[in-house]
Amino acid sequence: MAWPYFAYFLFFICGNHLQSQKLHTKIHFGAFYYQGDLTPRPVDMSFGPGNICWGVSSGIDLLDWVSINGRFMMGQISGSDSYAQDAQKKARNLSFASSLYEYGIYSDIKVNKIWKSLDKYKLRLYITAGINLIHFNPKAYYQGKWIELQPLGTEGQLMPSSGKKKYSLYNFSRPLGIIVEFDINKNLAFGMEVSPRKTWTDYLDDVSSCYINYDEMVSAGNPMGANLANRMGEFLNAEPVRVPSGTSRGTPDKNDWYTHFGMYFKYSFGNRNNESEENDVQEIKADTNIVKNETKK
């Protein structure tokens, strides 16, 4: 996992050879909120608990209203049936936590360009969008240890008869959100961001489709997978609950999401030529020309 840090370092160093007044870097901090099968209500209605995230980015203002940025973020997502409001979901008793790494390219488009009245509030409003390569690794807490779930094939991925393959721990997410930014001084700014991320996987939480019968998994030599695939017995303080293979475990027709709520400090190298400064310069030039013309007369 060391190569992304090296790649970001190269990006940052190379960026310094570009026009300094257009280069900026940001320190991000905030929280990731998971949305999926293990949130209290359906995926599109609620969030899991928030988990701290942080990151760095560096970018270039291509025009005065659009920039492109490379960003690295890291944090954690988690979810648990213990928060469920539905009794059946609570009894399912599944939970997970996963580290989450993002390596992304973003474009920020300044809304002020077309919504001029925002300038009087001394703020900049952006629409931000991009694409992330993400790495995740769902784990469950069991008998005092965190156990990686993907290698266990909790939905039968290790059983040839299931026809399923192991899911990849790499995927993509598509962020689309809003940024509000304020100047602190000539070079430093503070921003706030809200950006949901759509993914193309239903396995951020290791829960997607259906159960495999407990005894079948044990017979196939996967007792740990059987114990962590179906944890209803733990909830009932009883022996493992046997359900028929094919019994619904998740919602395979809905991929998982997560959302970033965050803030950042942005440093712009050199003198940032924002629109208000440019307008001031133009006004001074206009006044100077008027004075010169009157003097000539």
CATH no. for residue 221? Answer: 2.40.160.20
Domains in the chain: how many in total? 1
Of 227, 254, 260, 200, the residue nearest 41 (C-alpha):
254
pLDDT tens digits, 59-101:
999 998 999 999 999 999 999 999 988 899 999 999 999 999 9
SS3 assignment, position 92: helix
How far apart are the C-alpha atoms of 258 and 236, rounded to whole Å? 31
How far apart are the C-alpha atoms of 210 and 159, rounded to whole Å? 14
**At residue 292, does pLDDT exceed 80?**
no
Residues 139 and 151: beta-carbon distance below 8 Å: no
Q: 61-70 in b/e burial notation, b at 16+ Cβ within 10 A?
A: beeebebebb
How far apart are the C-alpha atoms of 100 and 209, rounded to whole Å? 22
| Domain span including residue 108 | 3-296
How far apart are the C-alpha atoms of 93 and 81, rounded to whole Å? 5
Map tokens 């304020």 to a residue.
182
**At residue 286, does pLDDT exceed 50?**
no
* 24-33, 39-48, 122-131: the lowest-pLDDT one: 39-48
**At residue 169, does pLDDT exceed 50?**
yes
DSSP output for 60-77: EEEETTEEEEEEEEEEEE
Residues 217 and 225: beta-carbon distance below 8 Å: yes
